[in-house]
Amino acid sequence: MTNRKANERLARALSISYEMLTAAEAANLQDLTLLDAERMQLLKSFRLEAKQVDADDRGLLLQISHVNDRTIGLVEHQRRSKGREMDMAAAGRRAVAAYSGVRLRR
């Protein structure tokens, strides 16, 4: 693989990484999954065909890694938040069930 073609693949993978971050910010897990699969193919082809990783390639890979870390952190935060919401909803259902037989006396 030519160095130029490798850089094009890594640049496209970086672009997809930013698209993934945007999808994560919108909590669009379907797009996030599709984008991740596309990016994974680009990275695999780079890994299999690259003879050497030069400074430009390392820089692009580092940027991809940083954006990926941000995306993972955002998705993890959303997962924990959704878990807390589910816990609160369950507590509310238990409270309703516990007090549903109690009538106010006037």
pLDDT in tens, 23-81: 999 999 999 999 999 999 999 999 888 888 888 899 999 999 999 999 999 999 988 98
Question: Backbone dihedral region of 99: left (phi > 0), alpha (psi from -120 to 50 degrees) or beta?
Answer: alpha
Per the structure, the count of domains in the chain is 1
Full residue range of the structural domain in which residue 16 is found: 3-99
Q: What is the pTM of this model?
A: 0.76
Q: Is residue 104 part of a domain?
A: no
pLDDT at 106 over 70: no
Residue 27 gets the label, from left (phi > 0), alpha (psi -120 to 50) or beta, of left
3-class DSSP assignment, residue 62: helix
Q: CA-based angle 98:101:106, to the nearest 5?
A: 120
Whether 105 maps to a domain, the answer reads: no
Residue 105, pLDDT > 70, answer no
Q: Establish if 106 belongs to a structural domain.
A: no
